[in-house]
Amino acid sequence: MKRVASLLGLGVSAVVLQGAIATWFAPPWCPDLALVALIGIGLRWRGLARGLLLAVVLGYARDLLSGSLLGQHALLYLVTFTATMVATRQLNLRGSWPLAGFAAALTVVYGLAMLALTGFFVGGVELRVGWLAAELVHGAMTGAVAPLVSALVGRVWDWAHDDPGPRPLGLDAVRRSA
């Protein structure tokens, strides 16, 4: 429970920090910290049910704070978390360069999916060359911070580990070895 609460707090903090950074930098130059935090969680998480629930809660938090259609980020976070869990079993994403490339590609796909969902529900959305160039810059910026944010998620993961560690040997074990 400590792990879920701490990672949820980290994810919501990433959403808030991303909103604060977006006031200083233009949108393509602002990395998607919440998405990278979710990727970092997906790299380490083992249970599917609680992980999907955590991804949906983080997505709804982002929906509430971003003003987008309610449920849009939650759905895409669900897909992103699942894609990260599948990819980490098939690919070695532990290095900085593979993780940065994966995060950059996933950011561009996430942006295209957001555009498609918005176009489906609202209508009148069209893909422009300038938007695609901005999304590629956004993906590159997100990929650049992915190793740092993933390392932070790893530190929180290790700190909040539910297992208290190895138990000290009892007197019976000491007597048998002597």
CA-nearest of 164, 104, 159 to 135 is 104
pLDDT digits (tens, 9 = 90+) for 87-100: 988 888 888 999 99
Say if residue 156's pLDDT is above 80: yes
Portion of the chain with pLDDT greater than 90, in percent: 34
Go through the domains of the chain in sequence order and give each one's CATH number.
Answer: 2-161 (1.10.1760)
* Distance from chain centroid for Cα 21: 17
CA-nearest of 96, 95, 80 to 41 is 80
Mean pLDDT of 146-168: 78
CA-nearest of 168, 163, 170 to 3 is 163
